Amino acid sequence: MCLFCKIASGEVPANKLLENDAFLAFHDINPRAPIHLLIIPKVHVEKFQDVTGELMAEMTPFIQEVAKKLDLDENGYRLIVNNGRDGGQEIYHLHFHLLGGTRLTWPHFSPEEAKKAI
28 binds ligand 5GP (CB under 6 A): yes
27 is catalytic: no
74 binds ligand 5GP (CB under 6 A): no
DSSP state of 33: S
Q: Which is nearer to Zn ion, 1 or 76 (CB)?
A: 1
Quickly list H helices, 10-118: 53-69, 84-87, 111-115
Q: Minimum Å distance from CB 93 to ligand 5GP?
A: 8
- Of the candidates 27, 95, 97, 108, the residue annotated as catalytic is 95
5 binds Zn ion (CB under 5 A): yes
Q: Can you tell me whether residue 32 is helix, strand or coil? A: coil
Q: Which is nearer to ligand 5GP, 74 or 90 (CB)?
A: 90
Number of CB atoms found within 10 A of residue 61's CB: 10
Q: Which amino acid is at 84?
A: G
Q: Select the span of 48-56, 66-74, 89-97, 108-116 touching ligand 5GP (CB under 6 A).
A: 89-97
CB 99 within 8 A of CB 38: no
Q: Which is nearer to ligand 5GP, 28 or 46 (CB)?
A: 28
CA quadruple 67, 70, 32, 77: dihedral, nearest 10: 40
Query: Catalytic amino acids?
Result: 95
Report the interface residues with Zn ion, using CB under 5 A: 2, 4-5, 44, 93
